[in-house]
Structure formats: structure tokens, C-alpha cells
């Protein structure tokens, strides 16, 4: 999450990293998978994660790959199983970096609850 603003302020939002992050989190199934992973606060195998939703395990595997590429989860292979876990700190850090960049750019638009 680079903070460089080459063209416009908040241009960091257009980074590949931010883009991938939002794409990873915008699918309901992937979000369910993520919640399932946070639920145990540790590691889970693909099979274990797959219990979260009524979809084929191969699909879960693909979603986990997507989340992994986005830096949301990490994968550790042990024996014939692969253990996935949430990269909590990295994820929280990325989200806060985006929030920071937004505020640094557009100081404040406090509102009266207008839409």
C-alpha cells in the first residue's frame, strides 16, 4: 500500500494491492469463508473451511487462492493438508492505510447525516 500520490491525491487507491483487496472482499462467499476463518482464530484446512457454505470444495479452494493472492490469508502446507489462516495484522493495516490516505487527502467532510 504505497502512499505515493503521483497524479492525484488518493491515487494509492488505484494500486494493484488495494484493487485486489477490494475484489477479494466483495464476494459474499469469500466473505463467509473469511468469517469462518476468523471464527477459529487459527488455522483451518480447506475441508474445514468448506463447512461454512454449501458449495463445492473446489470452489472454496479457488476462493482461498484468491484471498491468498490478495494478501488476506496465508497458506501453510503440512502433510497432505493445507492450513489457511487470516493475516489479521496485514489486513487491518491495509484498511487503515486506505482510511488514512482518504483523510489526508480530503481533510474533513463532517456531515449532518445528510446522504
Q: List residues near a second copy by CB under 8 A.
A: 8-11, 13-14, 18-19, 22-23, 25-26, 28, 31-32, 34-36, 38-39, 41, 68, 74-76, 85-93, 95-96, 98-100, 102-103, 105-111, 114-115
- The nearer residue to a second copy, 48 or 85, going by C-beta atoms, is 85
Residues in a beta bridge with 84: 44, 75
Min CB(39)–DNA separation in Å: 17
64 binds DNA (CB under 7 A): yes
The neighbour count for residue 82, using CB atoms within 10 Å, is 17
Shortest separation between residue 57's beta carbon and DNA, angstroms: 5
Contacts of 101 (CB under 8 A, 6+ apart): 3, 9, 10, 12, 13
- Beta carbon nearer to DNA, 3 or 47: 47
CA distance 26 to 31: 7
Q: How many angstroms separate the CA atoms of 81 and 12, rounded?
A: 37
CB 56, min distance to DNA, A: 3
Amino acid at each position: 500500500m504505497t502512499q505515493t500520490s503521483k497524479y492525484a491525491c488518493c491515487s494509492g487507491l488505484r494500486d494493484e494491492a488495494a484493487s485486489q483487496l477490494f475484489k477479494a472482499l466483495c464476494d459474499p462467499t469469500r466473505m463467509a469463508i473469511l468469517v469462518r476463518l476468523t471464527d477459529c482464530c487459527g488455522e483451518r484446512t480447506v475441508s474445514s473451511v468448506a463447512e461454512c457454505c454449501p458449495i463445492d470444495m473446489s470452489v472454496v479452494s479457488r476462493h482461498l487462492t484468491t484471498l491468498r493472492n490478495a494478501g488476506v490469508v496465508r497458506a501453510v502446507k503440512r502433510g497432505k493438508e493445507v492450513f489457511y489462516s487470516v493475516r489479521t495484522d496485514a489486513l487491518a493495516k491495509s484498511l487503515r492505510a486506505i482510511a488514512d490516505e482518504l483523510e489526508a487527502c480530503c481533510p474533513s467532510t463532517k456531515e449532518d447525516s445528510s446522504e
